[in-house]
Amino acid sequence: MILAALLAAVSCEQMNLPTKDKVSDDDIFSSASSLQVYMARMYSYLPIEDFKYLAEWGVEYNSWLGSFGMEGTGEAVNRDCASSFTRERTTFWSPAFSIIHDANHIIETAPSYEEALGVEVANEALGQGYFVRAFTFYAMARRFGGIPLVTKTIEYDRENPETMEVPRASEEETWDQIARDFDEAAKYLPVTPSAKGYANKYTALAVKAEAMNYAGCVAKYNETVQGRLSGTGEKTGVRVMGFDASSAAAASKRYFEEAFKAANEVIQSGKYSLYRANKDKYQNMVDMWRDDTSSENIWVRYYSYPTLTHGLDSYSSPCLWHLPLSGGTSPTLDFVELFDGLPRYADGTLRVTDGADHTTGNYILFDSPYDIFASAEPRLRAYVILPMDKFRGETIETRMGIYKGGETTIKPLGHYAYGDAGVKYAAYGNDKIKCGTRRTDNEFDNDAQMTRSGSCGPFADDNEATTTGFHLRKYLNPDMGADDIGEGKSDQPFILMRYADVLLAAAEAGVELALVGETSVDGTNVLSVATEAIADIRDRAGADPLAGSLTASVESRNLVRRERRKELAFEHKSKWDIRRWRVIDEQNRDGFWGEVRDHSAFSDGTRFHFRGLYPFYSTSTGKYFLDARYECNLNKNYDYNTVDYYFAIPSDQVSKSSVIDQQPNR
């Protein structure tokens, strides 16, 4: 298809020439239209994480089982993906160098075709080359640390293959190169790109801010991890992982400065703003994912039915729309508890009884499970389908089962220990509890005048429905009917970078700089920018107003982190955030949720798992109670060790090379 397009781009006179066995630079760079084909190919292979990415699989460009938050981030669980983000099935190593080769070629070649293309077209091509290379280096660096910095095209040399090898650079050199490449991209890219979905000047700056925050965190928080996560390769002696103890603090500060400056330049441009098209805060945050004119969108991956589609709706919708699967993204109670406006116990968890915690007292009774969320911030309802909420014009009837005890005050059902995760209610030996077993065999209860598990589960033995009591709402198309949903029928766009990302990047970098005594960058007060950014995001979301200004404190840093965990959930951001913050390993897991939280409540040694919220209808009261406990129908038990903060280099690449080092701790 690419070759046909290239041939179509050349003149009719050229079509009469003998067939070539190689597309030449003249074919590609002689016109803007032929150059677009080259860039389209380059962009199509970028390691973009959107609907067609599952962290357990890697960059495979495949929307099968489309779901989000399955990587041990705590956002969600499902029936299929069951491992934390310690590796990818398809390692992003060898494929990266094909993309880098294409980027290097356009960087080296475009300037010499300035006369044929025109200055603007040639400059954009140059900028796109730098952006693609920077983005690919960034994707590799956050997986592997130091990487081979291939910054020029390498010609194949059959006689001297050793001349083609490039050793891994240090991690610090790698992040420095990424910063330079994003700067070059921003220098040459226009404000309005030549094609929809391509990067512009501010895309480069926004992604740079994200990347530099990653680098700053690695340099700083590696020091908090047992063993410092730093070491040199055996073959080259280069510090391929981590930073030298003598330079780590200075490097961290430098990267946070770069992040703040890049993010603040986007903010000061005035080109973008938080989406506020609808005065209703809930509806506004539903609409923002589908409005192509959104003032918030900085970089978007577009789809178009029927030629380019994905499968999120067919795999992650509630099981009213089981086509061919459903319930693929089940948000956890742990995640839901991050949001404001919920009744809570002293430890911050959701209050479901009148006792001191969810294991004591009597259940609080509700007319509907949805009632407990009546005062929650609108952002939660826009991201998560809550039990008995409406979606696509239907009530999402979510019920664990029916309680047929005669009492009017009901005590907690029990089995709340960490070791009880995965224990089903049927194993309680309580004949008052009647749960639905399967979606296709959901027994009707005459006493309650309803099916045991409602239309959408959870079902005890059928995990093609929610397993936690919650469903994904964010990114699902609310207007699709049953006839519209199916494999490869969804075409809503995926927002890769938006203004909220930039505000959060500026806020994080600002607080981190303040923590080391730097209160301003280029005359701008970093905490003022950080405070305004967080206040703006919380106001748009309908969260509680920010109380006072952010300060140079761990508390303010954690407030920013918690806001990231909420705002950017289900966007492939959290799995990278908790890695760079170094808060997944056992010693540092108290910071897992972006706040100080006793991790013993959800982890045991290197392993950890999450909770659901299970509604029961009581026949004696005609009301609902909610049981909060570890996920019961499945036992998704995640594992993470300090070694997992860096992926292993593919063993075949290490064994056949004289210069490629394996990670020091592998």
Question: In the prediction, which pLDDT does 115 show?
Answer: 94
* Domain extents in the chain: 1-47+92-199
At 546, is the secondary structure helix, strand, or coil? coil
Q: 268: burial class by Cβ within 10 Å (0-12, 13-18, 19+)? A: exposed
Question: In the prediction, which pLDDT does 20 show?
Answer: 52
Cα–Cα distance measured from residue 211 to residue 218, given in angstroms and rounded to the nearest whole number: 11
Question: In the prediction, which pLDDT does 156 show?
Answer: 77
Q: Is residue 241 very low, low, confident or very high in pLDDT (cuts 50, 70, 90)? A: very high
Cα–Cα distance measured from residue 534 to residue 544, given in angstroms and rounded to the nearest whole number: 11
pLDDT at 537 over 70: yes
Tokens of 603: 């982890």
Q: Is residue 158 very low, low, confident or very high in pLDDT (cuts 50, 70, 90)? A: confident
Report pLDDT digits (tens) over 342-367.
999 999 999 999 999 999 999 999 99
- pTM for this prediction: 0.95
At 471, is the secondary structure helix, strand, or coil? strand
Report pLDDT digits (tens) over 451-493.
999 999 999 999 899 999 999 999 999 999 888 999 899 999 9
Mean pLDDT computed over 547-563: 97
Write the CA distances from 104 to 155, 164, 189, 631, integer angstroms.
Answer: 12, 15, 16, 48
Report pLDDT digits (tens) over 305-327.
999 999 999 999 999 999 889 99
> Cis (ω within 30 of 0) for the bond into 324?
yes
Q: Which residues contact 529 (CB under 8 A, 6 or more apart)?
A: 260, 264, 267, 506, 507, 510
Q: Would you say 252 and 182 are in contact if contact means Cβ atoms under 8 Å apart?
A: no
What would you report as the CA-atom Rg of the chain, rounded to the nearest whole angstrom? Answer: 26
Query: What residue ranges in 81-224 does DSSP mark as E strands?
Result: none
Question: In the prediction, which pLDDT does 163 show?
Answer: 75
Q: Is residue 21 very low, low, confident or very high in pLDDT (cuts 50, 70, 90)? A: low
Report pLDDT digits (tens) over 369-393.
999 999 999 999 999 999 999 999 9
Report pLDDT digits (tens) over 405-431.
999 999 999 999 999 999 999 999 999
- Which single residue is written with the structure tokens 């080391």? 516
Q: Does domain 1-47+92-199 have CATH number 1.25.40.390?
A: yes
